[in-house]
Amino acid sequence: MADRRTSSPNDLRAFWMPFTANRQFKKAPRMLVAASGMYYTSADGRQVLDGTAGLWCCNAGHCRPRITRAIQEQAATLDYAPAFQMGHPLAFELANRLIDIAPDNMSHVFFTNSGSESVETALKIAIAYHRMRGEGSRTRLIGRERGYHGVNFGGISVGGIVANRRVFGHLLPGVDHLPHTHLPELNAFTRGQPEHGAHLADELERIVALHGADTIAAVIVEPMAGSTGVLLPPKGYLQRLREICTRHGILLIFDEVITGFGRLGAPFASQFYGVEPDLITCAKGLTSGVIPMGAVMTTDAVHDAFMTGPEHMIELFHGYTYSGNPIAAAAGIATLETYAEEGLLTRAAELAPYWEDALHALKGLPHVIDIRNQGLIGAIELEPIKGAPTKRAFTAFIDAYEKGLMIRTTGDIIALSPPLIIDKAQIDELFGILGDVLRGLE
């Protein structure tokens, strides 16, 4: 009998694939059957260089022995333990280890199973926090245009990617949006943080003046917007947001689902940019993508606001069956150990200059209208084909895959975010293939 794990199935109808052109995919499927280190193996037996760390998540690379072993051993020791009114040691240990690498002001961790759930959790904590302090009128949430905060109702309400919102009804009431920070006419081909755009944070003052600070619970932004196609914060922008939030008693949430765990060259973007939010959402790199797990980290001030009623009462009526799941916690601990052993949480900073030069060398190739980068992240924006947006980048995606490289595209933007174990020879391999792909684009 064929091995179910490595042979292609003969019927693809039942699985409704997420964020996928299902009919197109099922006519010409792209199946991955194995992975190791920096490479996937495709069903037709090819090695494919992982230029995207899966979906921005496999920061330690693939099938790393310590993580694999930890999962195997945990599954055979304590497979599941209830998360409500019961505990198990690994969840506490992982929370402590997270706080060890988190920005200094973070001191408590709430576990979830995904980035989307982390966002919902953070938004709910923010609203409830104000209520606990007797400021129950602060219910409004402020997101940002082009923001991505997962796919649940809170996340798409504060999110700003139109296609993710348009067909899903009214969403949450009482939400407003900051403008996005993409200013290509001023900032195109900037290396690292752009010079122009810090003033866009001042739009928060306008929103405060419009609604009243006493109605606003929180502002949520990605410190570096990933899914929309890599938009870096202009110099000084995050600092200004922080100042305005503090001035008006508004909580600042950094959604670090992509930027967490070393992507920019520090454990979190908060440390990289030197701005401390009140809550941080994370997921993805927490377990190097191997097991679904997310977390919300917060400060003593936020946490302690809930610790006031009678001690026998539940303080926060929120949680998931799998919050702090033992196997996920074991994977998380093994992942943090792998990061620490191999210096991966700061490796992006060491490789960034080499990465940046290799990426910006693509300037001048056909249709390339902007290139952006920070840490081990890169984006190449292509001129859309007239009347057929997204088609040019999708063609590049297919061609790259056929040539042995996995990239990710959003609209007509190519995004790159390789595992943090990538070496210089593999960076050369990546940009060698991508250069060929771009040169061949119509």
Ligand X SMILES: Cc1ncc(COP(=O)(O)O)c(C=O)c1O
Residues in touch with ligand X (CB under 6 A): 114-116, 119, 148-150, 222, 226-227, 255, 257-258, 283
Q: How far apart are CA 174 and CA 214, in angstroms?
A: 13
Q: Which neighbouring-strand residues pair with 377?
A: 374
The answer to whether residues 224 and 269 touch, using CB atoms and an 8 Å cutoff, is yes
The answer to whether residues 215 and 202 touch, using CB atoms and an 8 Å cutoff, is no
**DSSP labels for 205-261?**
HHHHHHH-GGGEEEEEE-SSB-TTT-BPPPTTHHHHHHHHHHHHT-EEEEE-TTTTT
Query: Closest CB to ligand X belongs to which residue?
Result: 115
- Nearest approach, Cβ of residue 189 and ligand X (Å): 24
- Nearest approach, Cβ of residue 275 and ligand X (Å): 16
The answer to whether residues 360 and 191 touch, using CB atoms and an 8 Å cutoff, is yes
- With respect to ligand X, which residue has the nearer C-beta, 376 or 437? 376
The answer to whether residues 123 and 153 touch, using CB atoms and an 8 Å cutoff, is no
Which residue's structure tokens are 């929309």? 228
Residue 334, SS3?
helix
Q: How far apart are CA 194 and CA 301, in angstroms?
A: 33
The answer to whether residues 255 and 119 touch, using CB atoms and an 8 Å cutoff, is yes
- With respect to ligand X, which residue has the nearer C-beta, 226 or 378? 226
- Nearest approach, Cβ of residue 410 and ligand X (Å): 10
- Nearest approach, Cβ of residue 257 and ligand X (Å): 3
Q: How far apart are CA 327 and CA 377, in angstroms?
A: 29
